[in-house]
């Protein structure tokens, strides 16, 4: 299955996998971490096609304004998964204290 992935998708999934349980990161953080800071939308598209969930925890990636954003199974399911991991959500936004800032290549 991994042979069908593009190098970009592999990089996105590797960076996303480094987000620990109980933390979230933004699509922009992932884009910067893989050296493609302008590819925010492409990161979202790659995560939308994630065939490895939950091993690649795409539910931990949120919008830059900290809104939960979309999810294949719906935003409510994403919120449930995040809360189950201990991520604080208020008014459909992730608390800044839950952001993971150590994603790197």
- Element of type H or E holding 98: none
Of 34, 89, 33, 81, which is closest to residue 57 (Cα–Cα)?
A: 81
Is 67 among the residues known to form the active site? Answer: no
Active-site hit among 15, 30, 43, 58 = 58
Please list the active-site residues. 58
């Amino acid at each position: 299955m991994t042979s069908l992935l593009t190098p970009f998708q592999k990089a996105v999934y590797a960076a996303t996998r480094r987000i620990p349980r109980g933390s979230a990161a933004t699509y922009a953080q992932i884009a910067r971490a893989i050296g493609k800071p302008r590819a925010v939308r492409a990161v979202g598209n790659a995560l939308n096609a994630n065939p490895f969930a939950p091993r690649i925890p795409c539910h931990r990636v949120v919008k830059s304004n900290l809104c939960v954003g979309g999810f294949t199974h719906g935003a409510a399911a994403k919120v449930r998964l995040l809360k189950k991991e201990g991520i604080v959500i208020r008014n459909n936004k992730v608390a800044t204290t839950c952001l993971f800032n150590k994603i790197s290549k």
